[in-house]
Amino acid sequence: MTPPPLVSLEQVGKVFANGVTALGGFSLDVREGEFLSLLGPSGCGKSTVLRLIAGLAEPTTGRIAWPGSFDTDHRGRIGFVFQEPTLMPWAPVADNVWLPLRLRGVSRKAAQDRIAQSLALVGLQDFAKAYPRELSGGMKMRVSIARALSMEPRLLLMDEPFAALDEITRFKLNDDLLDVQKELSCTVVFVTHSVYESAYLSNRIAVLSPRPGRIVAELAGASSRERDGDFRASLAYADLCRKVSQALTGSMRDGGLR
Minimum gap (Å) between residue 22 Cβ and ligand ADP: 4
Asked if 22 touches ligand ADP (CB under 6 A), the answer is yes
**198 near ligand ADP (CB under 6 A):** no
Residue 44 or 146 with smaller CB distance to ligand ADP: 44
Dist CA 251 CA 208 (whole Å): 7
Pick left, alpha or beta for residue 185 (phi over 0 → left; psi -120 to 50 → alpha; otherwise beta). left
Tell me the β-bridge partners of 29. Answer: 8
Site for ligand ADP in 153-182 (CB under 6 A): none
Identify the residue among 1, 2, 18, 235 touching ligand ADP (CB under 6 A). Answer: 18
Q: How many residues contact ligand ADP, by CB under 6 A? A: 13
Those residues with Cβ within 8 angstroms of residue 204's Cβ, 6 or more apart along the chain or in another chain? 31, 34, 35, 36, 37, 218, 219, 220, 221
Q: Name the nearest CA neighbour of 172 among 200, 212, 214, 204.
A: 200
Task: Provide, rounded to whole angstroms, the least separation between the CB of residue 218 and ligand ADP.
Answer: 17
Decide: is 143 part of the binding site for ligand ADP (CB under 6 A).
no
Among 36, 37, 39, 46, binds ligand ADP (CB under 6 A): 46
Told to check if 56 binds ligand ADP by CB under 6 A, we report no
Mapped onto helix, strand or coil, the DSSP state of residue 136 is coil
Q: What is the DSSP letter of 213?
A: B
Binding site for ligand ADP (CB under 6 A): 16, 18, 20, 22, 40, 42-48, 211
